[in-house]
Structure 1
Amino acid sequence: MHPLLRAAAERRLGLFTAADARRAGYGHPEIRSMCATGRWVRLRRGIYVAADDLARAEQQGRRFQLDCLAVLVALDRPGAALGHGTAARLWGLPVPRPPTISLVDPAHTRTGRDHRMTQTPLADDEVAVRGPFRLTTPARTLVDHARSEPLEEAVVAMDAALLAERVVPEQLRTAASRAARWPGARRAERAVVLADGRAESPLETRGRLRIAGAGLPVPELQVEIRAEGRLVAVVDAWFDDAAVAVEFDRQVKYTDPWRGRSPERVLWEEKRREDRLRALDIGVVRIADADVGPRWPDAEADLRRALARPAPLRRRFSTLPRARGQARTG
């Protein structure tokens, strides 16, 4: 590939346009030949990527980024920005891959075979540039996403963004206020009220919403339990009146543990931790991924039984809620 064309491609994650190729000296017949022989791949009309770059992007899980950028470049709308679930994915938030690429434009609506551009007001401070992408800011993204998606999915994304410090609660409230008269605004407002950045995983968010839906007391999140001046555990959720801890058990905790621990080590540490809590007369309820689905009635019954037990008459421990959650990294 000519150095001029390689430089243009590197500015766009490997993508280049027919105009880029012509500036580097490639004529139409040569462009057609490169595609016919499989050296280049045509993603959209006038948008190409070298086959090796495409294979590398797919291997690294970046094909969605390429598809989004191809749409953005092809539409060539300076005022448009990737938004909704598309922007949420690009911000690294835990949302399902959207079936179509979504864009927001303050002056234009357009629908294509794999994208949809919606005419919606878009202030300058609601747009961010991230590498080659022009996309809505995290707060605007989350509110737009919440206006059209299920409440649980919206809160999971908001919790993750708060945990990662991509947004703060005030930014979410401001974005929701700006969208107050738009379709789905009430849905977004409900999600913002329920969001809590102390949740450290989607399971913790879903479990918290299940507990709220059951009409149970609202637990405190990420609470330190100390005894004799030492930290015994940090529990995911804590019911203070009943002295009951809830631990949300993600399977990944055991299959892909963090901090370099083996699965066997994690199991042993979890058992020792629970033993220490129970020795302090603290009730412990474990909730797994399957429990927040069809098996929720059984998990709810276990939790209700734990909350109905007599609380310890004398507490040999102290509690301190943490101000924020801790993002899990390897």
Structure 2
Amino acid sequence: MLSDRLALRRRLFGLAGRQHGFFTAAQAVEVGYSHQAQKHHVDSGNWLRVGRGVFRISEWPAQQFDHLVRLTLWSGGVGVVSHASALSAHDLGEVDPGRVHLSVPTRFRRTTAGTVLHRPLPPEEHIEDRDGYRVTTPSRALAECAEARIEQQWLDSAVGDALERGLTTPRRLRDAAAQLGPTAELGIHVALTASDR
């Protein structure tokens, strides 16, 4: 019996380890924890309930992008961190969004406080996998912010950072902006001009 519990715990830790210590109720069921066992672990303090159907192993250390992992799990794993939140995840510029920007499928209908949802999902070639969440590429995130008309000075700073660090090129930026339309193209053009590219 003890060996069964240890095997369950190892499987859960293996899953949670890829998601900053977070996991969903459905994932816990897949690992082998019944809903009754889940309640027991929450009541005992082994797991923390951090959202509807989302838990975290209580002793797991906090990490910088925990909120992005939690919201990705809240979305059922379909959400992609985008726009200004993607700039923050890539450490570009000085944008510090007050809410998390998440791109979701067109038919996605859930909402949660502190989140801005964008539809539809970006194409797969504009998405990067991270530890526990997915995020738009630097080029796509910059184009999304240009399309959303963030302050030009913030966009200029983020574009300058991305170019300086080699995370994108002027051509990739222009291509990403062209996919989103004239507003994005204009914002990226101004930012590239400001960085003399």
Normalising by structure 1, we get a TM-score of 0.51
Question: Within 5 Å, which residues of 2 pair with 1:302-317?
Answer: none
Distance 1:145 1:153 in 2: 9
Cα displacement (A) at 1:73: 1.9
Letter in 2 for 1:93: L
Cα displacement (A) at 1:17: 1.5
Mapped pair 1:20 → 2:10:
no
SS at match of 1:96: coil
Q: Partner of 1:176 in structure 2?
A: 177
Distance 1:122 1:84 in 2: 11
Distance 2:28 2:66 in 1: 18
SS at match of 2:158: helix
Cα displacement (A) at 1:91: 1.5
Distance 1:4 1:174 in 2: 43
Question: Within 5 Å, which residues of 2 pair with 1:73-88?
Answer: 73-76=73-76, 78=78, 80-88=79-87
Mapped pair 1:165 → 2:166:
yes
Distance 1:97 1:13 in 2: 22
Question: Within 5 Å, which residues of 2 pair with 1:182-201?
Answer: 185-195=185-195
Change (3 A) 1:179 1:20: closer
Listed one character per residue, the Cα deviations across residues 229-279 of structure 1 (whole Å, up to 9, x for unaligned) are xxxxxxxxxxxxxxxxxxxxxxxxxxxxxxxxxxxxxxxxxxxxxxxxxxx
Listed one character per residue, the Cα deviations across residues 201-249 of structure 1 (whole Å, up to 9, x for unaligned) are xxxxxxxxxxxxxxxxxxxxxxxxxxxxxxxxxxxxxxxxxxxxxxxxx
Mapped pair 1:102 → 2:101:
yes
Structure 2 unaligned runs (5+)?
Answer: 1-5
Cα displacement (A) at 1:5: 0.4
The structure with the largest strand share of the pair is: 1
Listed one character per residue, the Cα deviations across residues 59-80 of structure 1 (whole Å, up to 9, x for unaligned) are xx51xx22111211221264x4
42, 53, 58: which one aligns with 1:51: 58
Listed one character per residue, the Cα deviations across residues 69-128 of structure 1 (whole Å, up to 9, x for unaligned) are 1211221264x4210011111112233332221122452465431222212462332222
Distance 1:73 1:25 in 2: 19
The structure with the largest helix share of the pair is: 2
Question: Within 5 Å, which residues of 2 pair with 1:1-330?
Answer: 2-53=9-60, 56-57=61-62, 61-62=63-64, 65-76=65-76, 78=78, 80-105=79-104, 107-108=106-107, 110=109, 111-120=111-120, 122-147=122-147, 148-181=149-182, 185-195=185-195
Contact 1:103 1:118 (C-alpha < 8 Å) held by counterparts: yes
Larger relative contact order (CA 8 Å, sep ≥ 6): 2
Contact 1:41 1:49 (C-alpha < 8 Å) held by counterparts: yes
Distance 2:94 2:108 in 1: 24
Instruction: Indicate the structure (1 or 2) with the bigger Cα radius of gyration.
Output: 1
SS at match of 2:91: coil
Contact 1:109 1:118 (C-alpha < 8 Å) held by counterparts: no
Contact 1:146 1:191 (C-alpha < 8 Å) held by counterparts: no
Q: How many residues align?
A: 188
Distance 1:77 1:48 in 2: 14
Structure 1 unaligned runs (5+)?
Answer: 198-330
Listed one character per residue, the Cα deviations across residues 113-147 of structure 1 (whole Å, up to 9, x for unaligned) are 12222124623322222333222111010121233
Q: Partner of 2:3 in structure 1?
A: none
Change (3 A) 1:77 1:108: farther
Contact 1:159 1:196 (C-alpha < 8 Å) held by counterparts: no
Distance 1:97 1:35 in 2: 33
Identity of aligned residues (%): 23
